[in-house]
Amino acid sequence: MFSKKTIRDVDVTGKRVLVRVDFNVPLTKEREVADSTRIRAVLPTINYLVEREAKIILISHLGRPDGKVDDAVRMDPVARCLSNLLGKQVQKVDKTVTDEVKAAVSRLKTGDVLLLENVRFNPGEKKNDPEFAKQLALLADIYVNDAFGTAHRNHASTVGITNYLPAYGGFLLEKEINELSKLFKNPDKPFVAVLGGNKVSDKIKVIEKFLDIVDVILTGGGMCFTFLKAKGANIGGSICQNDETEHSLKMLKKAKENGVGLLLPVDVVVAKTIAEDAEYKIVPVENIPDKLMGLDIGPKTIRTYEDILSKAKTIFWNGPMGVFEIEQFSQGTKAIATAIANSQATTIVGGGDSDAALRKYGLENRVSFISTGGGASLKFLEGTPLPGAEALLDK
């Protein structure tokens, strides 16, 4: 459970409150916000601060500008989107810590909202440079972290700044940690984890942790081929991380010891290329032809997984079952997303692509909770402390 002080624990009225948010949203070609989920997720915190007449300064990163100004990822589209969502004008400045920004802050009236420029234009951000953190801190009286998606990063605006300002959690950070914590607090059984996505290395620590708390792990996506290879199967040209085979074998052994079902697909959809016009066929998993890649779970696997999911009481899902961006390889992900949406279980989803898959099939309102942080949710679930949350004041 979230054990840090939140904005409920401090008087914010009339104060300058700097809120680190994660507005790292996808943009359209015309540079408008393509999906405002992450912006809407922070509205409870912003509205609370507006109602209590704070002076609100928002800061976020967007994209990967790598310490340099990049016009393609300025925050202006976000400011426009947020203005619409709040129904009030959000001011935007083109810098983060200059005199121009200080002047804009000093002009703020209570209840005003100011959005600063992309924090990653500054090389000090990712280096967690103390001088940059100090400059940011000078803008405000109180610091709030509501950027769950960036809480696993040790950056100036997530960690360094807490050395210079009293630091509190926002409502999104609190909710994310509380929702994900429920998976460890007597979850209703059977507890089934569905893990896919491309890299096993991203997920192996979560698998290790889950082997102590779940009844079944259903695997798919690219990551299952490292397990299959480790077991001696011929995986053809499927994606595989050879340096993780040993680790994977250990997980299979631990699963057996713990009586947890660590299920691998029994059939897969294979093709020569990952392309819209690729020809495909379905083969048993022990029989992948040499030049073909496994790109989705097959129908037999889908039926088995659907059956297990229909009996689950708690489900966690991270990672698509196949290359769902391409029609021929999307059936597994679609079927599993649908089974999760139809389930009566508590259903928790993490991961940007899993979230995108749910939205693609219009199922995003039919799960209990979708985390706004892919990397951050996995780190949290594997038991790695999130520096952005750790750095806040204790309750």
Helices marked H in 52-122 — which ranges? 76-86, 99-106
Active site residue 8: no
Least CB distance to Mg ion at residue 224 (A): 16
251 binds, among Mg ion, ligand ADP, none (CB under 5 to 8 A by kind): none
Instruction: Evaluate the CA torsion angle 73, 74, 75, 76 in order and state its sign.
Output: negative
Which x/- pattern over 345-364 shows residues binding Mg ion (rule: CB under 5 A)?
Answer: -------xx-----------
99 near 122, Cβ under 8 Å?
no
Q: Give dist(CA 382, CA 371) in Å, integer.
A: 15
DSSP string, 217-247: EEE-TTTHHHHHHHTT---TT----GGGHHH
Q: Give dist(CA 245, CA 152) in Å, integer.
A: 26
Under the binding rule (CB under 6 A), the answer on residue 65 touching ligand ADP is no
Active site residue 196: no
Under the binding rule (CB under 6 A), the answer on residue 193 touching ligand ADP is no
Active site residue 232: no
Residue placing its CB nearer to Mg ion in the complex, 44 or 352: 352
Least CB distance to ligand ADP at residue 392 (A): 26
3-state secondary structure of 333: helix
φ, ψ of residue 211 to 5 degrees: the values are -60, -15
221 near 322, Cβ under 8 Å?
yes
Least CB distance to ligand ADP at residue 349 (A): 8
Under the binding rule (CB under 6 A), the answer on residue 352 touching ligand ADP is yes
Report the residue number whose CB is nearest to Mg ion.
353
Under the binding rule (CB under 6 A), the answer on residue 298 touching ligand ADP is no
Active site residue 352: yes
Binding-residue total with ligand ADP (CB under 6 A): 20
Q: Give dist(CA 153, CA 43) in Å, integer.
A: 22
Least CB distance to ligand ADP at residue 371 (A): 10
Residue placing its CB nearer to ligand ADP in the complex, 23 or 280: 280
Instruction: Give residues in contact with ligand ADP (CB under 6 A).
Output: 196-198, 202, 221-222, 239, 294-295, 318-320, 322-323, 325, 351-354, 374
